[in-house]
Structure 1
């Protein structure tokens, strides 16, 4: 076992103390601090080009990644393992009056000890075996674990067969600008140094899957995430004559009822099942109060996938939207009939018919009808829309659809389906090629070797269940699946763009060996010290050794001896 606890915990605190909330200047401070720490190591003072701090590309704000390379000299080899972790965190407003202490674990834990806490949280705090603070779990302890291994091998490259690359990326908590930008740097180093990327080990947090779950999970591959979006048009009417129009909010409500929490929309693969979709936004576009119903509404949903492609999801959700539309009209007709009976008014059938359109089909129709006139108008419209820096990608996409809808000759109520944000690709690790087989074998061996040193079960699963940057280093989708994303995002190429081919060029097998804890993104965020500072670096090192053909027991003893000597 590596004696890593004190060093990883100390570095975790040092990184946590840099308030690196996503989309703030703190991300720059964090990159500067990590770059300074790595650059101060003797190996990198002798090889300054082996640590870089590149600015992110195609980003609306200034921020940086940090990459470092250690070349082993035990034997000449191009084999390389990438260690990845993100430097940013979510905000600290949830800490309330304690937010000034959120990034200072010792002060925070002292303050929390004076509060009335839920039983489990108090038990963890009093035990001294858990560490609290913003980012300790998600995921600065993971970055600290990677740094610990990078530092040792930089001090003893003669013990390393092959190479290690550390990628500490920004903007994981929002739009993955960091890792997407770093793809070019990884490719550049691969060509410059003739690196052969065997695997990538991420160190994002892991947590219990259910109450009472004692397992500590390692994940092979990751869940994919889409944001299917629906622009819903109605027929405006005065509220005093409500049956003379069709309220888009009524349709939106039925669409949400049909899709949110629907287990039929869970993607089951390799014995694991995604959580169902849930609505993340539901609104209309009325700017102020009027007595008239809205012209349009907008709904989008979180949608996780394991094996389905973005094209599959469009097809499935079109069916769901048609069911919702039919059900809404059926219920409306029933209510209209009852109202007429009660009020004594003459009943006549309402004119509305179900109408669901996939975005690329609507756009094709408009191009066929109007040609270059339409395309040039939309190009100018998007250019002008881009000037509004407060308009994020999801609302930008909706405004584009709204403008295109104005060109439609048939204005009868409709639901238009599209994607309005980043697609985080799913990654399936099934052993489909030699690299995946080698990584899976190394992982199984690492767990078997380390399990006797830890009291709780270490269990591997197939899909990391949260959105993470592993999605941006490999692709399981074919070109048709990716095309469904690019052709159905109204902001594609202007407000939003991802070079999925750059992901395919890296295409490295991935696993996640991360710190264990509770309440990430919560004021009680905390990690279990034993697993996070001892097991995580040991497991990671074991996988590295097995992949690079090194004697892990010998390496572990050298690491332990070195740590004892320094102590």
Structure 2
């Protein structure tokens, strides 16, 4: 390669400019942020000469009209590397009195130091004070997650664009809405293969630039991830037998049933993915509520649970089957407990005595409802359309499951197990596939060589444990998607276009406390080492 004298932009300065443009998910700032990116990228001489290669695209069916940003630097030949990341950030509500400068890292830094010198109590706060006083960490909302990652990608893109003789092509792609629903990546990624074919490009690697956390010396944060965790939001629509509170033995309180399910699901090793010898993150409850919306002395009849169930190898059908089995055991045990308690109270004919719990999947409930209601699909779609369009997926799923339960004409006690939100597929570079094995070997060799040159060790980790947009760029099992869609009542949460099926890794910044008020990035790595690693990998895959 021949490098020109054009100076590439500083990753630190680009980070500061991107952070100052607040882009909290689902706000006007996120809608406007592509204009900031277009301005930053538009300063590169390449895009001044080739404005047609820099554009923003409205995300189809996005309720907020958000845009993805594309910046393509062309060279010779079809080989292409994609550098990608999200530009939305989480709220600054947890910054308290510092919220007014949360998007201004240079103003925030002295404020945090002053605050922590007086008020630090926890180990995490004392660690943050030491970090910030060292000068090696830069605070601010989005600095770590993940605008320093975007800045590293822009720096690598600029370095490539500065070559007077370029071999291959680099696409920088910044997407919206990763923190909530991944509308940006879900729209962009599945289209990439067809777009590349039209452009005559060969997409060899996707580098996701998302952040990782490390409370130690950085050895865990300075890592390349060759796979990403998947996410399933398992739901349980729970039905009891309601009764007057003065005659409680005549009913089966749904809150008791729901609590027993919570106890059975929470951190259950039998529900934890242990594929490939790796113990994954155990399931945890994200929502538990009864669905009664008013007060009187009738016991609640229905409840709703949502359980975060990460996966890295287990297929969705197996996950659902395990939850169903655990739910059957838990509900049977709950009714046994109620029977024993009733008998101690001198009642051998309580509602629990005559009850057998019913446990079924969302797909089975839909089939039952279809037997009862003519033209059910049309009626179901009409009800879905009547719901508030701003309902989140879990709330919408609760409403839809309740409607199906009524249509099916079934009685409690019961639980309907399904999925209540977006399915993030787990993906990995599979060494059993020749093309992916070759990509994996090249990633390892390049980072080993460049790391030695820079004096840093880059560890390899199999699973990126933070839910990420890697799910949409890698490969997913179509059968897995079919199972999830069949058991997800909210059609808007279905995967309609499969992920891109491209070799994908994550190589991003590291720091501490992201999503918290002490979010901060380790500057020497993020602004110095990371852009060089990204550039080295890019060049290796373009040769």
| Aligned-residue offset at 1:273 | 2.1
| Aligned-residue offset at 1:193 | 1.4
The answer to whether the 8 A contact 1:88-1:170 is kept is yes
The answer to whether the 8 A contact 2:312-2:426 is kept is yes
Match of 1:78, SS state, is strand
The answer to whether the 8 A contact 1:4-1:148 is kept is no
Q: Distance in 2 between matches of 1:144 and 1:16?
A: 10
Tell me what 1:419 maps to: 419
Tell me what 1:89 maps to: 89
- 1:294-333 matches, cutoff 5 A: 294-333=300-339
Structure 2: unaligned runs, 5 residues or longer: none
The answer to whether the 8 A contact 2:448-2:457 is kept is no
Q: 1:540 aligns with which of 497, 509, 534?
A: 534
Relative to structure 1, the CA distance from residue 253 to residue 346 in structure 2 (aligned partners, 3 Å threshold; closer, same or farther) is closer
Tell me what 2:64 maps to: 61
| Aligned-residue offset at 1:29 | 2.4
CA RMSD of the aligned region, Å? 2.0
Relative to structure 1, the CA distance from residue 4 to residue 512 in structure 2 (aligned partners, 3 Å threshold; closer, same or farther) is farther
Q: Distance in 2 between matches of 1:326 and 1:441?
A: 51
Q: Distance in 2 between matches of 1:499 and 1:394?
A: 18
| Aligned-residue offset at 1:521 | 0.1
Please list the CA deviations of residues 385-440 of structure 1 after superposition, one character each: whole Å capped at 9, or x if unmatched: 2xx13322211111111011112233132100111110001002222323312321
Match of 1:167, SS state, is strand
Q: Matched residue pairs, number? A: 530
The answer to whether the 8 A contact 1:270-1:462 is kept is no
Deviates more, 1:287-296 or 1:3-12: 3-12
- 1:116-155 matches, cutoff 5 A: 116=116, 117=120, 118-155=125-162
- 1:181-200 matches, cutoff 5 A: 181-183=187-189, 186-187=192-193, 189-200=195-206
| Aligned-residue offset at 1:331 | 1.3
Tell me what 2:497 maps to: 500
Please list the CA deviations of residues 337-373 of structure 1 after superposition, one character each: whole Å capped at 9, or x if unmatched: 2222xxxx5666711112101111111122233342x
Tell me what 2:171 maps to: 165
Deviates more, 1:521-530 or 1:264-273: 264-273
Match of 2:353, SS state, is coil
Match of 2:204, SS state, is strand
| Aligned-residue offset at 1:453 | 5.1
Q: Distance in 1 between matches of 2:163 and 2:218?
A: 39
Relative to structure 1, the CA distance from residue 389 to residue 333 in structure 2 (aligned partners, 3 Å threshold; closer, same or farther) is same
TM-score, normalised relative to structure 1: 0.90
Q: Distance in 2 between matches of 1:406 and 1:327?
A: 26
Tell me what 1:389 maps to: 389
Relative to structure 1, the CA distance from residue 5 to residue 96 in structure 2 (aligned partners, 3 Å threshold; closer, same or farther) is farther
- 1:204-215 matches, cutoff 5 A: 204-208=210-214, 214-215=219-220
| Aligned-residue offset at 1:476 | 3.0
Structure 1: unaligned runs, 5 residues or longer: 550-567
Q: Distance in 2 between matches of 1:418 and 1:31?
A: 36
Tell me what 1:41 maps to: 44
Q: Distance in 2 between matches of 1:251 and 1:213?
A: 45
Tell me what 1:561 maps to: none
1:72 equivalent in alignment to 2:64: no
